[in-house]
């Protein structure tokens, strides 16, 4: 028997190949859990023209949601606005083209969807300069393209904007009593209507307001040319419904800049017609800082669980250095004193470098306390230069957990830094949305952290066993954009994603939660650190 000296090396080679093969199979299987191609199944919708809004709604009451797309075609002054309706079949597959499409009445100014008329299901209705009209739904599920008049009252939207039709919150449970009411905004008031059986919608509340007015003229000696002689804008305050005085009834709170105006829910069931209180929080810079760039956002919310609405005031201001900004979050606790509900100074202040779209108050860790969540971008001359050169920007997501002494920590309990690609085609924006704790994707009843950017979805499931979130589950090569709806489209208890672009050739993409990743989540139970690098 002759010895083959290559035999030993061939055996080693085969062993190495088999080893690499099994490693590859193992990594491939693991990749299916961390980087899964089946977290969401993608569908696309086709709509001509520029997308003005994309609105999921259960129009027929059967559980699965239709998608109402508002779009426009043509260019000024020959623009036309359209409604397109998309439906899903029993397997939650949406038709690529609309089942129905029609041109919107020219007088329409603000659109909403809700049950406002005796016709089957929900109606698509809209504000005009003289009231509210609607498109009724017929027995076969299609809509009549001839509008019906619902209410005849003058509104603040005197003239329609030919190229716009935003969705507004016109129907809601404004008193938190389980009954939807209609809101009709006027120049000097907010008028609420309640449905009274066969009598239809009846006016039940009128709250007096003063809109903020902006006036611009072409008679400005700055050398610039303007295509108008007079420009006017009217802006109504942001509307919140919270229990301000702890009496168990929801009150109406209107916020504007650093002030809140309160209309108490009275014993007769009506909101106060005139303001019950107006509070201006003394946080506006003065002296040499008075002329710095300022942005306010006031959020009324019961933070400490005492049934009194507290105030979270977010101020973004210039620091005096070129293009540099700083975020200051002021927390004012409701002192439960009718004459002096808030102290003259904030009970706590959190300061962070950068800019933010706003803060969210949410019980993140399930202890019943209201935690603080926000994302931010550091700005400044050198940061902006670096971002423009690299075409990327870092977003920081921070969570501050409320402690038992009703104080937030000085540093976040959770901080995650994510890099986004910048799109410089039309201005400066990034390919995705701000991180959000807005959806339950695993179906466990808890909201998960979503980061959608650069054709990639990352879901950080809520962890019930220790740290805030488990390791992320991801999916690449999906369409992402700044405009997003998070909603359970097919009623399976798990939220889906609906992305869209507003530009004329923009996409509308449905990412339907497959549910298969629940098994992946059980295998990915390892916790991620609360401050990942």
pLDDT in tens, 296-326: 999 999 999 999 999 999 999 988 787 889 9
What tens digit of pLDDT does each residue of 373-409 get?
999 999 888 888 888 888 899 999 999 999 999 999 9
Q: Is 17 helix (H, G, I), strand (E, B) or coil?
A: helix
The neighbour count for residue 327, using CB atoms within 10 Å, is 19
Using an 8 Å Cβ cutoff, are 123 and 114 in contact? Answer: yes
How sure is the predictor about 519, in pLDDT bands with cuts at 50, 70 and 90? low
Which pLDDT score, from 0 to 100, does residue 197 have?
A: 84
Tokens of 32: 């299916």
Q: What is the pLDDT of residues 94-141, one digit of tens each?
A: 999 999 999 999 999 999 999 999 988 999 999 999 999 999 999 898
Contact call for residues 311 and 300 (beta carbons, < 8 A): yes
184 vs 23: which has the higher pLDDT: 184
Q: What is the pLDDT of residue 515?
A: 85
Q: What is the DSSP letter of 402?
A: P
Q: In this structure, what is the dihedral angle of CA atoms 55, 59, 64, 69, given to the nearest 10 degrees?
A: -30
| 356-376 pLDDT, tens digit each | 999 999 999 888 899 999 999
Mean pLDDT across the chain: 88
- Please state, in angstroms and rounded to a whole number, the distance separating the CA atoms of residues 409 and 317: 22
Give yes or no for a contact between 499 and 507, defined as CB atoms under 8 angstroms apart.
yes
Dihedral through CA 170, CA 172, CA 175, CA 181, nearest 10?
A: 60
Q: Where are the domains of the chain?
A: 173-185+196-280
Q: What is the pLDDT of residue 70?
A: 97
Q: Among 520, 528, 522, which Cα is nearest to 34's?
A: 520
The phi, psi pair for 285, rounded to 5°, reads -60, 150
- Tell me which residue of 503, 426, 416 sits closest to 460, measured CA to CA: 416
Exposure b/e, 134-154, CB count within 10 A at least 16 = b: bbbbeeebebeeebeebbeee
- Per-residue pLDDT of 271-284, as tens digits, reads 999 999 999 999 99
Q: Which residue has the higher pLDDT, 467 or 174?
A: 174
Q: CA nearest 373: which of 299, 470, 267?
A: 299
């Amino acid at each position: 028997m002759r010895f083959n000296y290559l035999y030993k090396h061939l055996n080693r080679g085969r062993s190495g190949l088999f080893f690499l093969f099994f490693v590859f199979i193992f990594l491939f299987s693991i990749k299916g859990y961390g980087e899964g191609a089946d977290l969401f199944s993608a569908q696309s919708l086709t709509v001509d023209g520029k997308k003005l809004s994309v609105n999921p709604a259960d129009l027929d009451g059967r559980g699965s949601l239709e998608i109402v797309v508002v779009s426009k075609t043509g260019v000024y002054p020959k623009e036309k606005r359209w409604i397109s309706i998309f439906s899903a079949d029993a397997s939650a597959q949406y038709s690529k083209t609309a089942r129905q499409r029609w041109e919107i009445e020219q007088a329409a100014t603000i659109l909403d969807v809700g049950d406002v008329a005796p016709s089957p299901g929900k109606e698509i209705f809209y504000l005009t300069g003289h009231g509210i009209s609607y498109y009724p739904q017929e027995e076969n599920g299609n809509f009549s393209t001839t509008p019906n008049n619902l209410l005849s009252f003058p509104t603040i939207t005197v003239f329609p904007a030919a190229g716009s039709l935003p969705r507004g919150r016109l129907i809601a449970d404004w008193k938190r009593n389980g009954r939807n009411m209609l809101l009709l905004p006027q120049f000097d008031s907010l008028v609420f209507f309640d449905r009274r059986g066969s009598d239809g919608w009846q006016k039940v509340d009128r709250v007096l307001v003063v809109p903020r007015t902006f006036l611009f003229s072409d008679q400005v000696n700055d050398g610039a040319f303007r295509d108008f002689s007079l420009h006017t804008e009217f802006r109504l305050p942001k509307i919140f419904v919270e229990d301000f005085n702890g009496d168990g009834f929801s009150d109406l709170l209107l916020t504007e800049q650093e002030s809140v105006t309160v209309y108490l829910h009275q014993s007769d069931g009506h909101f106060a017609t005139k303001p019950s209180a107006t509070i201006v929080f003394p946080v506006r810079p003065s002296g040499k800082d008075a002329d710095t760039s300022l942005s306010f956002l006031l959020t009324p919310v019961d933070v400490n669980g005492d049934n009194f609405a507290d105030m979270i005031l977010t101020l973004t201001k210039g620091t005096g250095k070129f293009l540099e900004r700083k975020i200051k979050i002021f927390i004012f606790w409701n002192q439960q004193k009718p004459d002096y509900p808030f102290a003259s100074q904030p009970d706590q202040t959190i300061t962070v470098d950068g800019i933010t779209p706003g803060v969210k108050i949410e019980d993140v860790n399930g202890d019943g306390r209201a935690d603080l969540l926000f994302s931010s971008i550091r700005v400044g001359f050198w940061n902006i230069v670096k971002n423009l050169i690299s075409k990327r920007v870092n977003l920081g997501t921070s969570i501050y957990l409320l402690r038992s002494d009703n104080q937030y920590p000085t540093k976040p309990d959770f901080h995650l830094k994510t890099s986004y690609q910048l799109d410089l085609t039309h201005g400066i924006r990034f390919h995705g949305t701000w991180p959000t704790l807005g959806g339950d994707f695993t179906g466990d009843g808890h909201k998960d952290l979503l980061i959608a950017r650069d054709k990639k979805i990352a879901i950080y499931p809520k962890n019930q066993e220790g740290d805030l979130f488990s390791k992320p589950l991801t999916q690449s090569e999906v369409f992402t954009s700044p405009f997003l709806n998070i909603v359970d489209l097919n009623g399976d208890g798990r939220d889906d994603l609906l992305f869209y672009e507003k530009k004329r050739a923009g996409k509308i993409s449905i990412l339907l939660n497959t549910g298969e990743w629940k098994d992946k989540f059980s295998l990915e139970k390892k916790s991620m650190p609360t401050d990942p690098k």
